[in-house]
Amino acid sequence: MTSPPDTLIVPDTDDKASLSREKHQDQYNVVLSPEKERKLWRKIDIHLLPIISLMYLFSFMDRGE
Protein backbone atom coordinates (compact mmCIF):
# COMPACT_ATOMS: atom_id res chain seq x y z
CA MET A 1 0.00 0.00 0.00
CA THR A 2 1.39 3.39 -0.95
CA SER A 3 1.08 6.54 1.10
CA PRO A 4 -0.43 9.68 -0.43
CA PRO A 5 2.00 12.30 -1.72
CA ASP A 6 2.85 15.30 0.45
CA THR A 7 1.20 17.70 -1.98
CA LEU A 8 -1.61 16.71 -4.29
CA ILE A 9 -2.74 19.10 -7.03
CA VAL A 10 -6.13 18.37 -8.57
CA PRO A 11 -6.99 20.52 -11.61
CA ASP A 12 -10.38 22.17 -11.84
CA THR A 13 -12.89 21.03 -14.38
CA ASP A 14 -12.94 24.52 -15.88
CA ASP A 15 -9.12 24.89 -15.70
CA LYS A 16 -9.37 28.37 -14.12
CA ALA A 17 -7.82 27.48 -10.77
CA SER A 18 -6.48 24.43 -9.05
CA LEU A 19 -7.24 22.71 -5.79
CA SER A 20 -4.22 21.83 -3.75
CA ARG A 21 -3.98 19.65 -0.68
CA GLU A 22 -1.07 19.87 1.67
CA LYS A 23 -0.49 17.03 4.09
CA HIS A 24 -0.08 18.09 7.70
CA GLN A 25 -0.13 15.61 10.57
CA ASP A 26 -2.22 12.98 8.76
CA GLN A 27 -4.78 15.58 7.67
CA TYR A 28 -5.26 17.42 4.43
CA ASN A 29 -5.68 21.18 4.25
CA VAL A 30 -7.73 22.15 1.21
CA VAL A 31 -6.85 25.51 -0.29
CA LEU A 32 -9.58 27.02 -2.47
CA SER A 33 -9.58 30.13 -4.57
CA PRO A 34 -11.99 32.86 -3.37
CA GLU A 35 -14.34 32.09 -6.26
CA LYS A 36 -14.45 28.37 -5.46
CA GLU A 37 -14.91 29.07 -1.75
CA ARG A 38 -17.86 31.36 -2.54
CA LYS A 39 -19.42 28.64 -4.72
CA LEU A 40 -18.93 26.06 -1.98
CA TRP A 41 -20.61 28.25 0.65
CA ARG A 42 -23.48 28.93 -1.78
CA LYS A 43 -23.97 25.20 -2.31
CA ILE A 44 -23.92 24.56 1.46
CA ASP A 45 -26.46 27.36 2.00
CA ILE A 46 -28.77 26.07 -0.71
CA HIS A 47 -28.80 22.59 0.83
CA LEU A 48 -29.06 23.58 4.49
CA LEU A 49 -31.41 26.58 4.49
CA PRO A 50 -34.58 24.68 3.46
CA ILE A 51 -33.99 22.05 6.14
CA ILE A 52 -33.27 24.64 8.83
CA SER A 53 -36.35 26.64 7.76
CA LEU A 54 -38.58 23.56 8.08
CA MET A 55 -37.14 22.76 11.49
CA TYR A 56 -37.80 26.34 12.63
CA LEU A 57 -41.39 26.15 11.29
CA PHE A 58 -42.04 22.84 13.07
CA SER A 59 -40.58 24.26 16.28
CA PHE A 60 -42.89 27.28 16.01
CA MET A 61 -45.92 25.07 15.30
CA ASP A 62 -45.07 22.81 18.25
CA ARG A 63 -45.03 25.75 20.68
CA GLY A 64 -48.35 27.13 19.47
CA GLU A 65 -51.49 26.53 21.52
pTM equals: 0.48
Written as one letter, the residue type at 27 is: Q
Per-state percent for the chain, helix, strand, coil, to nearest 5? 45, 25, 30
**Measured between alpha carbons, how far is 30 from 22 in angstroms, rounded to an integer?**
7
Which amino acid is it at 42? R
Label residue 12 by pLDDT band (50, 70, 90): low
Whole-number pLDDT of residue 28 = 74
Q: Report, in angstroms and rounded to the nearest whole number, the Rg of the chain calculated over CA atoms.
A: 19
Position 8 scores a pLDDT of 53
Question: Helix (H) and strand (E) counts for the chain?
Answer: 1, 3
The amino acid that residue 16 corresponds to is K
